[in-house]
Structure 1
């Protein structure tokens, strides 16, 4: 095995294709899971799939496919009846990982010399494209001898590694603890009851109590942060606000950088951006337009993560305009767009005015580009790397707000000339003149801004 391939722990993907899922959708789900696993730091070396009427209640896969999976990982392929729940060493490390110091790549126990080359090349991680119950996860680990993660676990761990701000880290920790709590099991050899008179709690029960206490502490701290954010959003309530929303890796951060000139992180990986960034449209307009980049969405996004990131998604709810960013080069863009719309419906943002943007047009043929415009004539087909396309998008944003603006005349007395800067900040000054009463400004702005400036005269 080459050094480049051995640098990452090896993983095998597992998926069950249900009768309601087409071959195309099933392949797309597994391909997306592969990208998630790669983002997490693993190298996918095999895929095991099975067509079934339903996911097997005990082990997800049928007996034959389970043994096929176990041959890849070096496991027995069977679940010992009556065996005590066990955690693999790799899972113990994963659950005990420091919250404040996530590693870029998972650590896997090195193979011993006795294992030989064949054992060294075996996958040490099994990733299932379904949400697993605690018993399913336990059974699969015992049958395969590998650490087992489900799709939700992978997404939660990616969020855990990519969170940067204090708020995002707290939000992700809440989702992560909610995910881990029901999956905690007694380790092999541990005492079922805590030692000491009068103690009636098992080790797992005590750990779960600690988790509940930690969740209460996190929610209290998050509430304080969100109160500060609410105050900042209230201060921006009359400003022109645009939110970029869309599937993960659709190119929102690239558009954010192109529109605002900000040094936001741009990476070709899933969930590179978890923290909301708010910047002014550049070159700046009067009144100023604020652009916000939001966390990306994905198929089967865990509900706990949607709930945890509710304050982040409020940027979309309170925006004046939503820009739905779609990766036009992805063959599953229609399903991705529906995921975005579904999440926004969940938070009540479906009524916010919006425009559809087909990004990454530089990867399309002229025929594909024309086909998109025929299906969605109201949409913009563009590339975040094309200055002309970005300029056209900027003009579209300006024209959207222009349609809602009205003209008015303001008189600023000479004794209150300090208010002139406030007028220039919140309106576009068309002309100005001076007479005995003061400075007369003819302005164009949103009705709410005009009303506020008029009251302050």
Structure 2
């Protein structure tokens, strides 16, 4: 069943029936303009035009374009164990200012995945082309009215915007659509709150939520002010009468106090991680961090490489707490692998700040395994988004090895394009094990070189040094003699200094 909303010369066609979701793009007719032909040819939407070089096409500027394939169809909600909130019925809206229509559709499809991960049922999705988001209502007053009609016709109780809204945009859009409005940042924070398990993870998420909430508090004016009281109050006096501290001021003060407390707690928790990290540095164990886009398969890859048994779930942000495991190269050299929180496009800066101590695992690593989902509709966008976050946390100069995961489900043509863009990359499938041996070999080659060759005979009572050579170095030859353990190995310079007194001449 099709419905058409007529607003003057603006006709927006939407399809509600789930069985017609994939029927293709709906026509947006303005005058005699054939936008279907433009969309099919790929020339209808390019980069955002500079205002002084001409206006965008009328159809693009005034149309809410429906995005196909956004309906959530669940037969049994109880199958999704991580959904702790009630199932909300949501409508999605995105405003795109640059890039192509395909980019806008991919962004809204990602928003759909985020909404489903948070426990929502997606009923409808639309995008609008504008030079920039409307400063008052994000989509403009007329389009906000259309959104209200969509919300009413679908029975939705929440509108999710694909962007970060200002407090003013949030309030004014809610006034028009008459349902709860949240933005992309609030949605991601809600997912993090559901998935946080450790004490540190919960504190980091709470700090990010409070940072987001602080400028968005809504007050009730003087009616909720804290009156100091006059003669009738008994404790008042000159200079103390008046409106006093308002409710919103009290809330703001309490939030700031709570944020200060959380920052102190996170600093103390970070010190414990720093101690462990310093111990690994002293022992010269190379650190490898697995980083990448959310749901790219980082935890699956860690399990495949180390047997860590980390939670693996086909959901966004399933991993929030870092996991560090030990692994070995084919020649026996030990190194650490750390699984980190996934990134996403437009990652809220509140999260980057709150998780900075956790993300230091990436910045302090000797090598980053940058995992990319090769089966994703836009893997190149994943690459650029993650590298943008690397710049924010100071990891842009760390050695990087790109790992294209899920090659068993990827399009061969897309894989060929990715090889051209990233010639020094490895293709693997964490699910099937394909390419894992090549990945381990590539990691071994990329680790910092062991620059000191030693030939020593260690007394049997110095088993601690033998253990360190095995952990930190690469053994060429080992033999047990009457005088002790004879070793020919390559080790870090710090360990070589401790072995000098046991060195034997090369005959």
Q: Which has the higher contact order (CA 8 A, sep 6+)?
A: 1
2:95 is the counterpart of 1:16: yes
CA deviation vs aligned residue, 1:155-204 (integer Å, no higher than 9, x gap): 111111111111111111111001011111136x9923124424611111
Q: CA deviation at 1:66?
A: 1.1
Q: Please give the residue correspondences for 1:104-253 in structure 2 after superposition, counting only pairs within 5 Å.
A: 122-186=155-219, 191-197=223-229, 198=240, 200-237=244-281, 238-253=284-299
Separation in 1 of the partners of 2:128 and 2:464? 72
Farther-moved stretch of structure 1 (224-233 vs 414-423): 414-423
Name the SS of the counterpart of 1:231 in structure 2.
helix
Q: 1:68 aligns with which of 121, 146, 160?
A: 146
Label 1:191 to 1:410 Cα distance change in 2 as closer, same or farther (>3 A). farther
2:402 equivalent to 1:360: no
Q: Are residues 279 and 14 of structure 1, via their aligned partners in 2, closer, same or farther at CA, if it must alter by over 3 Å? A: same
| CA deviation profile, 1:321-364 (whole Å, cap 9, x unmatched) | 11111111113111110111111112221111111111110012
Is 1:321 aligned with 2:367? yes
Report the counterpart of residue 270 of structure 1 in structure 2: 316
Aligned to 1:27: 105
Report the counterpart of residue 473 of structure 2 in structure 1. 427
Identify if the C-alpha distance between structure 1 residues 24 and 370 changes in structure 2 by more than 3 Å, giving closer, same or farther: closer
Query: How many residues matched?
Result: 410
Give unpaired runs (5+ residues) of structure 2.
1-17, 19-72, 78-85, 230-239
Using the TM superposition, name which of 277-286 and 121-130 deviates more.
277-286
Relative to structure 1, the CA distance from residue 206 to residue 402 in structure 2 (aligned partners, 3 Å threshold; closer, same or farther) is: closer
Task: Return the offset for 1:421.
Answer: 2.6
Counterpart of 2:444 in structure 1 is 398
| Structure 1 equivalent of residue 394 of structure 2 | 348
1:249, CA displacement in angstroms?
A: 1.0
Counterpart position of 1:378: 424
Residues 365/435 of structure 1: CA separation in 2 closer, same or farther (3 Å cut): closer
**d(CA) in 1 for partners of 2:287, 2:364:** 8
In the superposition, relative to structure 1, how do residues 396 and 3 fare at CA in structure 2: closer, same or farther (>3 Å)?
Answer: closer
Cα separation, 1, equivalents of 2:303 and 2:74: 36
**Which stretch shows the higher mean deviation, 388-397 or 399-408?**
399-408
Stretches of structure 1 that go unaligned for 5 or more consecutive residues are: 75-117
**Post-superposition offset of 1:418:** 4.7
Give me the whole-angstrom Cα distance separating, in 2, the residues matched to 1:454 and 1:191. Answer: 78
Measure, in 2, the Cα distance between the counterparts of 1:16 and 1:382.
Answer: 36
Contact 2:402 2:425 in 1 (8 A): yes
Q: Cα distance 1:173–1:408, how it changes in 2: closer, same or farther (>3 A)? A: same
Query: 1:240 touches 1:287 (CA, 8 Å); kept in 2?
Result: no
Residue by residue, what CA displacement relative to the aligned partner does 1:39-80 show, whole Å, maximum 9, x if unpaired? 111111112332222222211122321111112334xxxxxx
Change in Cα spacing, 1:447 to 1:416, as seen in structure 2 (3 Å) is closer
Instruction: Give the TM-score normalised by the residue count of structure 2.
Output: 0.75
Other-structure match for 2:137: 59
* Matches of 1:58 and 1:365, distance apart in 2: 42
Residue 399 of structure 1, CA deviation: 3.0
- Aligned partners of 1:415 and 1:253: how far apart in 2? 40
Cα 1:316–1:454 shift into 2, 3 Å: farther
Contact 2:455-2:489 within 8 A present in 1 as well: yes
Q: Secondary structure at the match of 1:387?
A: coil
| Contact 2:222/2:246 (<8 A) preserved | no
1:37 matched to 2:115? The reply is: yes
Q: Does the 8 Å contact 2:450/2:473 carry over to 1? A: no
By how many angstroms is 1:372 displaced?
3.0
Q: State the structure with more CA Rg.
A: 2
Distance 1:333 1:414, change over 3 A: closer
In the TM superposition, what is the alpha-carbon distance from 1:206 to its structure 2 partner? 0.3
Contact 1:294–1:313 under 8 Å retained in 2:
yes
Asked if 2 retains the 8 angstrom alpha-carbon contact of 1:287 and 1:445, the reply is: no
Contact 2:286/2:448, CA 8 A, preserved across alignment: no
Indicate conservation of the 8 Å contact 2:164/2:184, yes or no: yes
Per-residue CA deviations over 1:276-307 (Å, capped at 9, x if unaligned) read 11011268863312111111111111111111
Compute the RMSD of aligned alpha carbons. Answer: 2.6
Q: Is the 8 A contact 1:36 1:155 kept in 2?
A: yes
Secondary structure at the aligned position of 1:46 is classed as strand
Partner of residue 327 from structure 2, selected from 257, 268, 281: 281
